[in-house]
């Protein structure tokens, strides 16, 4: 039996590098494409000799088409992340996340790829206040980032309907874990909180701290993504990937203090434009279709992330 070939777009990124490792462990031949705008070569250091790396931008159809040749499944993780960045520069966010995704699914169609797994986002729900978030809710994104993810998701679904590509869109909820860059101004709240707490610095919350999120450790997301690459599928699927629980930012700040052992103060700042108030995943569909069961809860994930942050700081 021939080895299956997988392409990971954004393979040098935080989530992408973890997925590439998991694919290798599962016996896939792995190819990645990354332009290293947000990805890091160091994320692939342990596997660089075992994968094929194409340096390129998904906004280039030529590079993307080259990357998809001979591939059985595309796991499309390349994106320009961050709500605040999209508010500052919506044009580039659209160019990468929407036009780039169109290039990926078009190249997949032209290369005869059977399945595309797309990293969508809980941000597509936006101002829809219903909780928990179910896939049947009407999307109401309130940031350019959320709009771009919804548009890209719809391209995947449209290509499935018209061209017969099997498309899975996974709406990730607030992913965190090792390799998430704490130094980036667009970094997620967890690496910021852990880094600042460990240094004895105040934790800054944008808003009153009552806003809540379904924080999801990266291992859970990788397991769901791997399942989406191989489960039997007839057509397309859109499903949430979270933990099915939620914590306020005040709760998270206290957890960061507890894990680091530092009793640092909490400071509150004005809410950020484009941020939703509450995010909480209904993961029933993922359990049914992907046999997805999150295995790492918040505190365990925080401890593992802190260990990585401390090791990374020591190495630098």
Q: What is the CA radius of gyration of the chain?
A: 19
Please tell me the pTM assigned to this model: 0.96
- The packing angle between helices 218-230 and 14-25, to 10°, is 50
Q: For 39-70, how does the pLDDT look when each residue is reduced to its tens digit (9 = 90+)?
A: 999 999 999 999 999 999 999 999 999 999 99
Share the mean pLDDT of the chain: 95
Give the position of tokens 């169109």: 102
pLDDT of residue 79: 97
Quick: pLDDT tens for 266-299: 999 999 999 999 999 999 999 999 999 999 999 9
What's the Cα-to-Cα distance from 198 to each of 44, 103, 191, 201, 263, rounded to whole Å? Answer: 26, 42, 10, 8, 10
Question: 238, 199, 198, 191: which is closest to 217 by C-alpha?
Answer: 191
Q: Is the pLDDT of residue 1 over 60?
A: no
Sign of CA dihedral 282, 193, 147, 40: negative
Q: For the segment 192-240, what is each residue's pLDDT rounded down to a tens digit? A: 999 999 999 999 999 999 999 999 999 999 999 999 999 998 889 999 9
What's the token pair of residue 260?
């680091």
Catalytic residue list: 145
CATH superfamily ID and name for 5-176+215-244+281-295: NAD(P)-binding Rossmann-like Domain (3.40.50.720)
| Domain boundaries defined on the chain | 5-176+215-244+281-295
Of 238, 223, 4, residue with least CA distance to 121? 238
pLDDT at 316: 42
Is the predicted pLDDT of residue 242 greater than 50, yes or no?
yes
Q: What is the pLDDT at residue 184?
A: 81
Bridging pattern class, strands 266-269 and 203-206? parallel
- The number of beta carbons lying within 10 Å of the beta carbon of residue 76 is 27
């Amino acid at each position: 039996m021939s080895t299956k070939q997988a392409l990971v777009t954004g393979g040098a990124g935080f989530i992408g590098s973890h997925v590439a490792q998991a694919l290798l462990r599962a016996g896939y031949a792995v190819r990645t494409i990354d332009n290293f705008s947000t990805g890091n070569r160091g994320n692939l250091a342990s596997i660089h000799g075992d994968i094929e790396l194409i340096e390129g931008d998904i906004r280039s159809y030529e590079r993307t088409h080259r990357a998809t040749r001979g591939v059985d499944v595309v796991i499309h993780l390349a994106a320009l992340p961050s709500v605040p960045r999209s508010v500052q520069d919506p044009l580039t966010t659209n160019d990468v996340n929407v036009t780039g995704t169109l290039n990926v699914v078009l190249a997949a169609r032209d290369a005869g790829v059977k399945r595309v797994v797309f990293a969508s986002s809980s941000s597509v729900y936006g101002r829809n206040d219903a909780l928990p978030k179910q896939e049947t809710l009407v999307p109401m994104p309130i940031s350019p980032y959320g709009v771009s993810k919804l548009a890209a998701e719809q391209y995947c679904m449209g290509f499935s309907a018209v061209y017969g590509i099997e498309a899975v869109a996974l709406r990730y909820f607030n992913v965190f874990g090792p390799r998430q860059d704490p130094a980036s101004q667009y970094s997620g709240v967890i690496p910021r909180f852990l880094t600042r707490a460990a240094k004895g610095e105040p934790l800054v919350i944008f808003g009153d701290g009552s806003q809540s999120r379904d924080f999801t450790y990266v291992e859970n997301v990788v397991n769901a993504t791997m399942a989406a690459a191989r489960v039997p599928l007839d057509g397309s699927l859109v499903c949430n990937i979270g933990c099915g629980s939620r914590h306020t930012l005040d709760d998270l700040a206290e957890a960061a203090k507890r894990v680091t052992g530092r009793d640092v103060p909490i400071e509150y700042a004005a809410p950020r434009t484009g941020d939703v108030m509450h995010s909480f995943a209904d993961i029933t569909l993922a359990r049914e279709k992907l046999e997805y069961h999150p295995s790492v809860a918040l505190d365990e994930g925080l401890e593992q992330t802190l260990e990585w942050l401390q090791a990374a700081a020591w190495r630098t």
